[in-house]
Structure 1
């Protein structure tokens, strides 16, 4: 048998169910791998060794093998509460604060049979697209440790890329799963708003932030998504949750494994930020789309370029709701002075907003959402680069002006946030390695509820590219 850390989640699941290895042996191997590799990466902010081993024994003796994630290791993003474990939110203000109760998503993953081994790093309160928090330190890219991993699910992506975990849950409010997945050469899925009941996005400002998955393969991503949905008797039992289309019965793993179908693809030629920022698309980013189109058309898919129509004020509106979301942090007085400069700026700007400005902005973004869905509806999926630039050096976003820092992030990742505003599913797939040996991904945006199509397309591309066999420079 291959080393445990080299197995995909699906292969590991099969090995567990054949009784060739036990959950405790898997967990022990994962903990050993973290101890060996993470000092050079910084993906974890907390490792719960004793609790993880105790949990592995509990899974083996007390949970049915039929649970979706039986015995599989993962870690919680450090924005999510797990009872008895510190939740730091990437902030100096909350380091060492132990959660008294678990969030719903944690309970769902536990019910699915997963074994959590700790907490993965996130920027302060998950508010930026790079993971270099002052509180816990910079997360380094396993492909090149002088580079960052993106964010905000940066610790999760680094842990999966460095083969400390087979997959990991994350959250995505403006690209926070897709950005680090692309920077680390992984598959990252942001589902349709409302699909995951415990991380639906319905209650977040403008419906932006939803749960998502980070993995090395398309089928592993689908396996984790199936578990996060937490069906009962095959149904999604939650009044907020989108019911999956009838043509695939919501069987995302099946769609990913089969990888069937021929589809019509759109190729986006612009971004919604073009009128407000200088967007420079790196040649390697453009090559991801060219290579993907060439591969897809060779497989019999249709492809057609198109330009997204918009009024040129998307960026202004997105920044307004991002400020508004920061304003809700339960912090006041001297606590604000202890925040990182970017976070403090976002909170201050958000609290300056009037109710009228916010409500008008939300209305305008709703109109934008409807327009995007209508324009994209003639395609089964739409192709873009995931990132406009190659993975950024550590410290690249360290500028004195917080507004300039935010603009740099938006220029780095101009293709991701509008998908959150529209509530659409999107997956990033690691198409190429650059001449410098860095991963670059292509994004596929689906119709509402179109996750199965994205998984099918991803599986077809994965068979051709075989990105899961690539290894980062970190040994």
Structure 2
């Protein structure tokens, strides 16, 4: 019999509605996964199993009484430790907030609760989501379940690992430069970055910079769509969420019922590096090997890229401005409680002049227009999700790729931030194991606000991949059960 914890969100929700799966049984199975595996990976750093079980019992009562059921009724979900869950710590991975307990739910958590979802706990993140390696001085490191010596990426690394290990069918993530796409790629799951405003942030720090956004993470595209149907709600608190007469221009319900899409009618652009991303040979080789297996199902396939001139500069300046605005006071007043990546970003932000910022903003406008022109000729872009295969987690960030030095601790995320800058929706789906035996993520980018199209195309490709040798297996749970506690590893809490 299938372990209930291994069920996807849609399948579990359907079985619950048909009274063939008890929400309590599902919750207990998810708890068992955490209790037998998390010592090895350290993904769930705060837990509310009692609260989840209490919610599961209420969910079961609602099912048996014939009450209306929400879209996520009885489904456990994990929450990235960047947003609040009532009564649980929100540490942001920061020593300054190690004892911070949330007194209310973030709007995303509240929306998922209202749809019947059951928060199980908080997932690990780098300090303030700064960086692509999930480790911090409060909660330690999170390891990749496919190789415990390697990184799970970040910053939504804990969420990706929780999904890969069957802790829950859904998890929250957030993304500026690939923070949910990169860990999805490294852990063999799905991460979706929506268009700006589709998932509103009621506490968006920088009202003029749309690069950060929350998004769904799941083990399938359809499950991510189901979660997005709950998250994509009207909320005027986010300046990028269009609300007219109480409604958004996008039909949130459509994300839960993805339409079929004829891939053979599409004009697909493919690229290994967007013309500027520092991509290692191993990734290029894998991408070249999988394309012939996918191309017969696609329409017109062309090697082409939008104009990405100044991408590194635009991203660096706008990212630095955001970190300076949020973290400068913390860095100045308690520098000993600020980690190296956040400190680097604050210092970098201070190095930019008003003219630098103005040039970056105007360059972003030009960049956006160039991407719109490109998408008049192409329907979607397919590329690798990440520039490199997972490195050892003890390496805080890659300082070189194939012998060439990187420009910063986030330069290796360029494959993702290429589409962040113009605000285009993009998704990462698993597509084979690379030469290191690690999951490979395929990235699909669509037109701005064609979120439904990106999800639909990704679902079609996912189905094709499932029928080939590119299907990514689950991690070796038996090996994880017997692995030593990750907390005993050297450098678990320190950066040397």
Q: TM-score normalised to the size of structure 1?
A: 0.89
Asked whether the equivalents of residues 199 and 211 of structure 1 are also in contact (C-alpha less than 8 Å), the reply is: no
- Name the counterpart of 2:463: 463
| Aligned CA distance change for structure 1 residues 347 and 59 (closer, same or farther; 3 Å) | farther
| Aligned CA distance change for structure 1 residues 91 and 211 (closer, same or farther; 3 Å) | same
| Aligned CA distance change for structure 1 residues 373 and 8 (closer, same or farther; 3 Å) | same
SS at match of 1:146: strand
How far apart, in 1, do the equivalents of 2:201 and 2:382 lie? 28
- After superposition, give the CA deviation of every residue in 1:57-105 in whole Å (9 maximum; x if it has no partner): 3334469543111111101110001222110001111112111222211
How far apart, in 2, do the equivalents of 1:120 and 1:388 lie? 24
- Name the counterpart of 2:243: 238
What are the residue-to-residue correspondences of 1:107-146 with 2, within 5 Å?
107-146=110-149
Shift of 1:408: 5.6
What are the residue-to-residue correspondences of 1:23-42 with 2, within 5 Å?
23-42=23-42
- After superposition, give the CA deviation of every residue in 1:317-376 in whole Å (9 maximum; x if it has no partner): 211111111112252544223211221121233245444432332222122122122223
Shift of 1:295: 3.7
How far apart, in 2, do the equivalents of 1:310 and 1:439 lie? 27
- Name the counterpart of 1:214: 217
How far apart, in 1, do the equivalents of 2:223 and 2:203 lie? 20
SS at match of 2:34: helix
Is 1:95 aligned to 2:92, yes or no? no
How far apart, in 2, do the equivalents of 1:250 and 1:371 lie? 31
- Name the counterpart of 1:302: 300
- Name the counterpart of 1:415: 415
How far apart, in 1, do the equivalents of 2:9 and 2:313 lie? 41
Is 1:229 aligned to 2:235, yes or no? no
Shift of 1:148: 0.5
Shift of 1:269: 5.1
- Name the counterpart of 1:335: 334
How far apart, in 1, do the equivalents of 2:420 and 2:160 lie? 19
How far apart, in 1, do the equivalents of 2:332 and 2:304 lie? 49
- Name the counterpart of 1:391: 390
- Name the counterpart of 1:20: 20
Is 1:253 aligned to 2:256, yes or no? yes
How far apart, in 1, do the equivalents of 2:38 and 2:448 lie? 37
Shift of 1:272: 5.7
| Aligned CA distance change for structure 1 residues 309 and 176 (closer, same or farther; 3 Å) | same
| Aligned CA distance change for structure 1 residues 324 and 203 (closer, same or farther; 3 Å) | closer
Shift of 1:406: 7.4
Match of 2:163 among 157, 160, 163: 160
- After superposition, give the CA deviation of every residue in 1:366-398 in whole Å (9 maximum; x if it has no partner): 221221222233211101111121111111226
| Aligned CA distance change for structure 1 residues 398 and 391 (closer, same or farther; 3 Å) | closer
What are the residue-to-residue correspondences of 1:46-57 with 2, within 5 Å?
46-57=46-57
Match of 2:274 among 253, 271, 275: 271
How far apart, in 1, do the equivalents of 2:43 and 2:93 lie? 12
SS at match of 2:85: coil
Asked whether the equivalents of residues 268 and 308 of structure 1 are also in contact (C-alpha less than 8 Å), the reply is: no
Stretch deviating more after TM superposition (383-392 or 302-311): 302-311
How far apart, in 1, do the equivalents of 2:205 and 2:342 lie? 23
How far apart, in 1, do the equivalents of 2:194 and 2:203 lie? 9
- List alignment gaps of at least 5 residues for structure 2: 236-240, 479-496
- Name the counterpart of 2:481: none
| Aligned CA distance change for structure 1 residues 308 and 259 (closer, same or farther; 3 Å) | closer
- List alignment gaps of at least 5 residues for structure 1: none
Shift of 1:41: 0.5
Shift of 1:296: 3.7
- Name the counterpart of 2:485: none
| Aligned CA distance change for structure 1 residues 205 and 349 (closer, same or farther; 3 Å) | farther
Q: TM-score normalised to the size of structure 2?
A: 0.85
How far apart, in 1, do the equivalents of 2:298 and 2:73 lie? 38
- Name the counterpart of 2:364: 365
Shift of 1:242: 5.9
Asked whether the equivalents of residues 59 and 70 of structure 1 are also in contact (C-alpha less than 8 Å), the reply is: yes
How far apart, in 2, do the equivalents of 1:55 and 1:7 lie? 19
Asked whether the equivalents of residues 133 and 393 of structure 2 are also in contact (C-alpha less than 8 Å), the reply is: no
- After superposition, give the CA deviation of every residue in 1:106-128 in whole Å (9 maximum; x if it has no partner): 11111111000000011000111
Aligned residues: 460
Asked whether the equivalents of residues 431 and 471 of structure 2 are also in contact (C-alpha less than 8 Å), the reply is: no
- Name the counterpart of 2:486: none
- After superposition, give the CA deviation of every residue in 1:420-457 in whole Å (9 maximum; x if it has no partner): 11111001111111243211111110001222222222
- After superposition, give the CA deviation of every residue in 1:286-323 in whole Å (9 maximum; x if it has no partner): 423551x3344322422111133243x32122111111
Shift of 1:2: 1.0
- Name the counterpart of 1:321: 318
